[in-house]
Amino acid sequence: MHTPTSPGALVRELSRLFVRSQRAQSACVDGASNVQCHVLTELLRVDGLTQQALVERLSLDKAWISRAVDALVSDGVVAKRPHEEDKRSVKLSLTALGRIRAEKLENTLNTHAAQVFEHIAVEQHGQIQEALKVLISALTHAAQATLNISTCDVNTETTPTAQENTLTFEDASMRDVPAIEVILAKAKLPIVGVRRHIAHFRLGKHDGKIVALGGLELYGEQALLRSIVVDPEQRNKAYGKQLVNDLCQIAQQTGVHDLYLKTVSAKRFFDGLGFEELAYDQVPASLKQSSQFRGSCPASATVMHRAMSALI
């Protein structure tokens, strides 16, 4: 077999071989087509996506998505429900059967991906994981540049370019929950719901140390930006701004159209990041179910909103 040597050709070959082998796995799961499998895994990640959001997230043809959704609906795997704000659109959710199928598919694909490492010497695993993180970060930046979605960066002229003030971001995990709760408690921010939404929390690190963290609670195309905190000794270095930008980008990639938050003392900070104050009665019902709107955050807090779709 001819193995390419240039970096670009290596990335292409890796992606080609991996996608081909994962497709073979998904073909074995309950006879679903590849597009149907993509739809199932996306709906497992975010409930309540519209058909248009699926088209954008998957970069697939509208007609293919439409056919796949119709087939999944007629199989009783996906259900449609009216969109509260847009009468011409519907939201899609997995049914109980759909969730079982999507979780089975997700497990199959995760197991298959993990098995690749069985063919690599154990002592090389750490090195490869680090290289993959670098590659993912590069691909994310490349995708953002192509889609011109880096508009999440407000006041980019004040975003630090010097290496010493640039944070690296990573997903938080269940393991991080106790430390996150301590940091939030010290900052007098609510800890309710951290465990439940940990999959969408991010840690901003400098020299291997957590200096900033924050998270998202996803409610379909709406999301709550929460728990934004920077180590008190590290404030005013634009770490807070980098953290919010990182979470905005994640929200955009996840198909979020509207981002909301509640803040007691940092209204001016969020003003500078494109958020605007919003009357409580304009907050969508889905968000009002969140613990922050049900009382874990003071009722006197300012509610703020930022439209994401308008920025793309």
Tokens 């063919």 found at: 119
Give yes or no for a contact between 77 and 69, defined as CB atoms under 8 angstroms apart: no
For residues 223 to 252, the per-residue mask of contacts with ligand COA, x marking binding by CB under 6 A and - elsewhere, is: -----xxx----xxxxxxx-----------
Question: Which residue, 106 or 170, has its beta carbon nearer to ligand COA?
Answer: 170
Give yes or no for a contact between 292 and 303, defined as CB atoms under 8 angstroms apart: no
What's the closest the beta carbon of residue 156 comes to ligand COA, in angstroms? 11
**Binding flag, residue 301, ligand COA (CB under 6 A):** no
Give yes or no for a contact between 252 and 312, defined as CB atoms under 8 angstroms apart: yes
For residue 36, which of 65, 56, 74 has the smallest C-alpha distance? 65
What's the closest the beta carbon of residue 266 comes to ligand COA, in angstroms? 4
Question: Which residue, 50 or 263, has its beta carbon nearer to ligand COA?
Answer: 263
Q: Which residues contact 138 (CB under 8 A, 6 or more apart)?
A: none
Q: Is the dihedral of CA 145, 146, 147, 148 positive or negative?
A: positive
Beta strands at 276-277 and 302-307: parallel, antiparallel or unpaired? antiparallel
- The span from the CA of 293 to the CA of 287, in Å, is 7
Helix (H) or strand (E) holding 132: helix 125-147
Question: Which residue, 202 or 237, has its beta carbon nearer to ligand COA?
Answer: 237
Q: Which of residues 257-296 bind ligand COA (CB under 6 A)?
A: 263, 265-266, 268-269, 272
Question: Which residue, 66 or 302, has its beta carbon nearer to ligand COA?
Answer: 302
Cβ-based neighbour number of residue 166 at 10 Å:
15
**Binding flag, residue 202, ligand COA (CB under 6 A):** no
**Binding flag, residue 161, ligand COA (CB under 6 A):** no
Beta strands at 78-82 and 90-94: parallel, antiparallel or unpaired? antiparallel
- The span from the CA of 44 to the CA of 103, in Å, is 8
What's the closest the beta carbon of residue 305 comes to ligand COA, in angstroms? 14
What's the closest the beta carbon of residue 225 comes to ligand COA, in angstroms? 7
Q: Which of residues 169-198 bind ligand COA (CB under 6 A)?
A: 187, 189
Q: Which residue is nearest to ligand COA (CB)?
A: 240
- The span from the CA of 246 to the CA of 301, in Å, is 24
What's the closest the beta carbon of residue 85 comes to ligand COA, in angstroms? 25
Size of the site for ligand COA (CB under 6 A): 20
Q: Which residues bind ligand COA (CB under 6 A)?
A: 155, 158, 187, 189, 228-230, 235-241, 263, 265-266, 268-269, 272
